[in-house]
Amino acid sequence: MSAHQTILHRLQHGCQTMAYPDGPPPALPDRHGGALRVETAKCAEGCATCLPVCPTQAITRPPGNPVALDLGKCIFCAACIEACPTKAITHTGKYPMAVRRREDLLLGKPGEEELRLAAALDEKLKKLFGRSLRLRQVSAGGCNACEADVNVLGTIGWDLSRFGIQFVASPRHADGLLITGAVSRNMELALKKTYAAVPSPKIVIAVGACAIAGGPFIGHPQVLNGASSVVPVDLFIPGCPPPPLTILDGLLRLLGRLS
């Protein structure tokens, strides 16, 4: 194909990048019901049907209390939704799920039936990173699912770079780390060295259930149950894996680009 034909071909296709966040967001996949909601008022007294079906112990029910769901541990298998006889746990269909504090992923407390979404960085850091953010991605023992959805953001449909966010090869050129995987013991030293190589001030983003709490490998002796055990984390994006829209939403909220 000649250069003239190539240019003509691209002009005929027009802009392939979605309008989000200025336009409507793309729909979530059919099998992804979005964030979960816990309606404690519907939780039947003494019922614990959902506890044994959860593969990551994300659901607990202390004596005398309603069910509590740790969305950081959740792998979104929906087994609890199917098992709950009163439908106290449901999908919301909402894609925003990123939070700044680990405890904000705990659902079921009074007034906390849904997520308290991430607030932006403080003014000093937002001034530094709000228009240009360079991230070093670290796969610290992941299955490549979260990594794949992070990579999707670099495709023509999403074009992450239009927000000033780019991935770099060296931590010395980065403003922070984006971590996936459960952080295996073999990756502990590598993660510490990579974090140390990023110039200060720096931020850390944990993407996926593994990077937040160990995911399906939680409690395994060769896993450190997430990035927080090794480095301080500034943004938690739950999911297994979180869809690209959830990841992008979290990044933009952190930078103050979304309210």
**What CA–CA distances, in Å, run from 180 to 79, 129, 217, 231?**
24, 21, 13, 13
pLDDT, tens only, 60-102: 988 878 889 999 999 999 999 999 999 999 999 999 999 999 9
Q: Which residue has the tokens 């308290």?
A: 116
Residue 43 within a domain = no
Q: What is the CA radius of gyration of the chain?
A: 20
Q: State how many domains the chain has.
A: 1
Residue 11 within a domain = no
d(CA 183, CA 49): 31
The DSSP bridge pattern shows strands 68-70 and 89-91 to be: unpaired
pLDDT for position 91:
92
pLDDT for position 108:
83
Sheet holding 235-237, edge to edge: 165-167, 133-139, 176-180, 203-207, 235-237
Q: How much is the pTM?
A: 0.92
pLDDT for position 10:
66
Window from 1-15, 44-58, 112-126, 240-254 with minimum mean pLDDT: 1-15
For range 119-130, the mean pLDDT = 93
Residue 227 within a domain = yes
Residue 203, pLDDT > 70, answer yes
pLDDT, tens only, 140-194: 999 999 999 999 999 988 999 999 999 999 999 999 999 999 999 999 999 999 9
Residue 35 within a domain = no
d(CA 2, CA 131): 37
Q: Using a pLDDT cut of 70, give the percent of the chain over it.
A: 95
Residue 52 within a domain = no
Q: Which domain holds residue 197?
A: 123-254
Residue 176, domain CATH: 3.40.50.12280
Residue 89's DSSP bridge partners are 38
User: What's the chain's average pLDDT?
Assistant: 91
Residue 216, pLDDT > 90, answer yes
Residue 219 within a domain = yes
* 192 vs 110, higher pLDDT: 192
Question: Following CA atoms 114, 232, 180, 137 in sequence, which dihedral angle do they give, to the nearest 10 degrees?
Answer: 120
Residue 75 within a domain = no
Residue 45 within a domain = no
